[in-house]
Structure 1
Amino acid sequence: MTLIKSISGIRGTIGGRPGDNLTPLDAVKFAAAYGTWLKKQSENNRLKVVIGRDARLSGKMIQDLVSATLSGLGIDVVDLGLSTTPTVEIAVPMEKADGGIILTASHNPKQWNALKLLNAKGEFLSGADGKEILEIAESDDYNFAEVDKLGTVLVHDAYIDIHIDEVLNLDLVEKEKIKEAGFTVVVDGVNSSGGLAVPALLKELGVRVIELYCEPNGEFPHNPEPLKEHLTDIMEKVKEEEADFGIVVDPDVDRLAFISENGEMFGEEYTLVACADYILSKQKGNTVSNLSSSRALRDVTVKHGGEYFAAAVGEVNVVTSMKANNAVIGGEGNGGIIYPESHYGRDALVGIALFLSLLAERKVSVSELRASYPAYFMSKKKIELTPDLDVDAILAGIEKHYTDEEVTTIDGVKIDFSDSWVHLRKSNTEPIIRIYTEAGAQLAADALADRFIEELSALAQK
């Protein structure tokens, strides 16, 4: 059982002892800290917070606790109920709210839940803001409202439809071309919010939908992280139904993966590559992804005459870089699409609409589209170290050894070679160095990772 407190929120497994797991007491404490922080930030006499959740089994319980806590602080709540992360993000500014909370543990299994915190723009909090909230939670310095000043709770269950309308109204979403194409698509909604939102969007676009695990009951039929080893059912279903492709989302619908018509993975890394290819073909501009994302985005960006920028891992870091570099699209290699014309948050619904527009325009199969992009392969490994080792010194040793190469140190150490790269990052919670590599063949990526495991081990023994 686990409770993890970080600058991006609090997440943990349900049940057990307070402080060790995500219990009702922990949910109340952290919601109170967030509400107290909001009150310190605002001069408004009456604050408003938007709350939504994915379909996991503990969601309703945690939402009731969080809503009641904010109400007890004198903060009004707009309750979206069953929702998606990007839906809550767009609802915050629409409601002119002071913040938002998404109750989801994203791709984690059903025993997990989390409170993810948003600012008044509907964007994730900065590291400094998150740190301040953690400090308030530790201090227990709360001042709850008197009875006549308690906050209200307003249920607003139409925001998924509003979100879909916002996606359909984006200028580069080719609604008529998509309808004319007559696509058949299999959708795996992992029995969460995506089972509501994704089929609804597709049907508005005239797509024939075959639903797989689209009942939002929180009983995840497989590990909810959209990786190849978890997706055998939809890979078989796409072939069985002779569908044009398959769509997979995680429980809170901010990650997006596609299955080609032949039942093969399109590749989570290539979700962003394809959507960026489409946007850049219509609008010149720059792109951003994090340091651990595929080089294919850089290649596609350069092909269209734009400039690519790499950000530290973490959505808030990608968004900050996108704003600084006027990026027209960005995101993360885990299937997260951030399209500023919609909002600054990862959004699978936006990604689906852009991908469909690209397919309808180019009139190619999904496998043909995938073959048109540079072929890269990734390896993701880790090396465990003893707690007494100085991880920063070990990474500094690697950096010093590769000064003749292109080295980036904004988030660990990334070394770009001519035909490959390696990214080394330390864990914030345990003595581990994560090793991500990419090369033109899987064997080469694996070999590069193994090589750096040996080099890190050698430095650790000095």
Structure 2
Amino acid sequence: MTLIKSISGIRGTIGGRTGSNLTPIDAVKFAAAYGTWLKKDRNKEKYRVVVGRDARISGEMIQELVMNTLIGMGIHVIDLGLSTTPTVEVAVPLEHADGGIILTASHNPKQWNALKLLNSKGEFLNGVEGEKILNYADTEDFDFAEVDDLGQKTINEAYIDIHIDEVLALDLVDVGAIKAAKFKVVVDGVNSTGGIAIPRLLEELGVQAVKLYCTPNGEFPHNPEPLKEHLGDICKLVVEENADFGIVVDPDVDRLAFIDEKGEMFGEEYTLVACADYVLGETKGNTVSNLSSSRALRDITRKHGGEYYAAAVGEVNVVDKMKEVDAVIGGEGNGGIIYPSSHYGRDSLVGTALFLTHLAKLKMSVSALKESYPPYFMSKQKIQLTPELDVDDLLKKIADKYANEDISTIDGVKIDFENHWVHLRKSNTEPIIRIYTEASTQEDADRIANEMIHEIKQVAGI
């Protein structure tokens, strides 16, 4: 069982002992630390926090603990109930709130949950803010409200619909073109809140939705990370239904993957590439993705006359870089679309609407669209960490070995070779080292990844 404390929040498995897992006591302590930071940072008389959750089984329990802790600190809570990460992000500024908390462990299996923390803009906290919260949690320096000063709770379950209205109002979302295309789409909502939000969005866009695993009961029917090896059911159903394509989201709906009409993966890396291709064709500008994302975004950006920039892995790092270079679109290669005209957060609803518009205007199949993009193939592997392994020293040894190559160490070690790249980094959310490679064929990407895993094990003596 695991508890991971990081600047982006607290993530752990349900049950077990306090301090080693995400127990009710840990949830209360971290919520109190967030409330303490909020009150010291904002320094005002009244405070408001938006709280929502995905559909995982522990969600309601954790949400009640978190909300009542904030209420006990004199903070007013807006309870969105079942929601999505981007929906909470949209709700924070609309509610003029001081922050937000999403109860979700994103792509992790059902035994996991987490508190994702937002600032008053509905964006993830930066490193300095996150460190302050961790310090408050460690010292337990909390000050709770007296009885007459307790906070209150307001329930507002309309925000998924409000979020959809915001998406439909975006200038580059052409509702008329999408309706005219008469698309038929299969949706895998992994029995979480994507099963609520995505079909509602498609209905408003005139798209026929075939629902697969769209009951928000938290019983994930497959590993919830939207990777090829987990998506056999939707790949089969797209072909059986003669659908135009399939849509897959993770439990909190900030990662988006597509299945083409042949039942083949479009590739989660190409979600951002396709959306950026459309946006850049309408709005000239720059793009940003993280170091573990495909070179295809760089190629598409340059084709449209823009500049591509890389950021460290993590949504807050990508957002910071996007603001710095005034990017018109960005995100992460795991299917996360960040479109500033909507908000600075990964949003599968926005990504779906942009992709549908792109497809409707091009009048081409999803497989043909994929063929039009530069062919890159990635391998995503991982090595389980052991307590005695010094990851920083290990990565330094790898960097030293390849010092003559094009190396970035802003986030782990990325080695850019002429025809491929390798990125090694310690995960922020799991006790693993991630090994990402990209090459011109899948065979080469897999071979390079396996060679690097062997090399890492040799260096580490494992």
TM-score range, shorter chain: over 0.9
Question: Does the CA-based 8 Å contact 1:387-1:431 persist in structure 2?
Answer: no
Equivalent in the alignment of 1:291: 291
Q: Which amino acid letter does the alignment assign opposite residue 302 of structure 1?
A: R
d(CA) in 1 for partners of 2:446 and 2:290? 21
Q: Which amino acid letter does the alignment assign opposite residue 58 of structure 2?
A: S
Equivalent in the alignment of 1:325: 325
TM-score of the superposition, structure 1-length normalised?
0.96
SS at structure 2 position matched to 1:253: coil
Equivalent in the alignment of 2:228: 228
Q: Which amino acid letter does the alignment assign opposite residue 380 of structure 1?
A: K
* Structure 1 position 374, deviation (Å): 1.1
Summarize the alignment of residues 325-364 of structure 1 with structure 2, pairs less than 5 Å apart.
Answer: 325-364=325-364
* Structure 1 position 384, deviation (Å): 6.1
Question: Does the CA-based 8 Å contact 1:117-1:124 persist in structure 2?
Answer: yes
* Structure 1 position 16, deviation (Å): 2.0
Equivalent in the alignment of 1:152: 152
Q: Which amino acid letter does the alignment assign opposite residue 371 of structure 1?
A: E
* Structure 1 position 355, deviation (Å): 0.2
Equivalent in the alignment of 2:270: 270
Summarize the alignment of residues 137-216 of structure 1 with structure 2, pairs less than 5 Å apart.
Answer: 137-216=137-216
Q: Which digits, 9 at most, give the CA deviation of each residue in 1:420-442, with x for residues without a partner? A: 11112245799864321100011
d(CA) in 1 for partners of 2:251 and 2:430? 26
Q: Which digits, 9 at most, give the CA deviation of each residue in 1:39-73, with x for residues without a partner? A: 10112101000000111111111111111110110
Question: Does the CA-based 8 Å contact 1:423-1:435 persist in structure 2?
Answer: yes
Identity of aligned residues (%): 72
Equivalent in the alignment of 1:127: 127
Distance 1:245 1:121, change over 3 A: same
d(CA) in 1 for partners of 2:326 and 2:34? 31
d(CA) in 2 for partners of 1:195 and 1:369? 26
SS at structure 2 position matched to 1:12: strand
Question: Does the CA-based 8 Å contact 2:33-2:137 persist in structure 1?
Answer: yes
The reply to whether residue 240 of structure 1 matches residue 256 of structure 2 is no
Question: Does the CA-based 8 Å contact 1:77-1:153 persist in structure 2?
Answer: yes
Distance 1:350 1:265, change over 3 A: same
Equivalent in the alignment of 1:37: 37
Q: Which digits, 9 at most, give the CA deviation of each residue in 1:84-133, with x for residues without a partner? A: 00000010011110000000111111111111100001000111111111
Question: Does the CA-based 8 Å contact 2:11-2:429 persist in structure 1?
Answer: no
d(CA) in 2 for partners of 1:446 and 1:145? 56
Equivalent in the alignment of 2:14: 14
Q: Which digits, 9 at most, give the CA deviation of each residue in 1:269-306, with x for residues without a partner? A: 11001000000111111111110111111111111111
Distance 1:407 1:359, change over 3 A: same
Question: Does the CA-based 8 Å contact 2:108-2:224 persist in structure 1?
Answer: yes
* Structure 1 position 403, deviation (Å): 3.8
Question: Does the CA-based 8 Å contact 1:391-1:431 persist in structure 2?
Answer: no
Distance 1:391 1:230, change over 3 A: closer
* Structure 1 position 18, deviation (Å): 1.6
Equivalent in the alignment of 1:97: 97
d(CA) in 2 for partners of 1:38 and 1:430? 27
SS at structure 2 position matched to 1:163: helix
Q: Which amino acid letter does the alignment assign opposite residue 304 of structure 1?
A: H
Question: Does the CA-based 8 Å contact 1:422-1:436 persist in structure 2?
Answer: yes
SS at structure 1 position matched to 2:197: helix
d(CA) in 1 for partners of 2:231 and 2:454? 33
Q: How many residue pairs get matched?
A: 462
Distance 1:283 1:68, change over 3 A: same
The reply to whether residue 26 of structure 1 matches residue 26 of structure 2 is yes
d(CA) in 1 for partners of 2:25 and 2:392? 36
SS at structure 2 position matched to 1:262: coil
Q: Which amino acid letter does the alignment assign opposite residue 86 of structure 1?
A: P
- Listed as ranges, the gaps of 5+ residues in structure 2 are none
d(CA) in 1 for partners of 2:198 and 2:327? 26
Distance 1:442 1:44, change over 3 A: same
* Structure 1 position 416, deviation (Å): 1.2
Question: Does the CA-based 8 Å contact 1:330-1:338 persist in structure 2?
Answer: yes
* Structure 1 position 450, deviation (Å): 3.1
Q: Which amino acid letter does the alignment assign opposite residue 259 of structure 2?
A: I
* Structure 1 position 146, deviation (Å): 0.8
d(CA) in 1 for partners of 2:389 and 2:190? 41
Equivalent in the alignment of 2:452: 452
Distance 1:375 1:20, change over 3 A: same
Using the TM superposition, name which of 384-393 and 153-162 deviates more. 384-393
Equivalent in the alignment of 1:371: 371
Distance 1:222 1:420, change over 3 A: same
TM-score of the superposition, structure 2-length normalised?
0.96
d(CA) in 1 for partners of 2:455 and 2:58? 44
* Structure 1 position 222, deviation (Å): 1.4
Distance 1:33 1:391, change over 3 A: closer
d(CA) in 1 for partners of 2:453 and 2:234? 35
Distance 1:460 1:105, change over 3 A: closer
Equivalent in the alignment of 1:217: 217
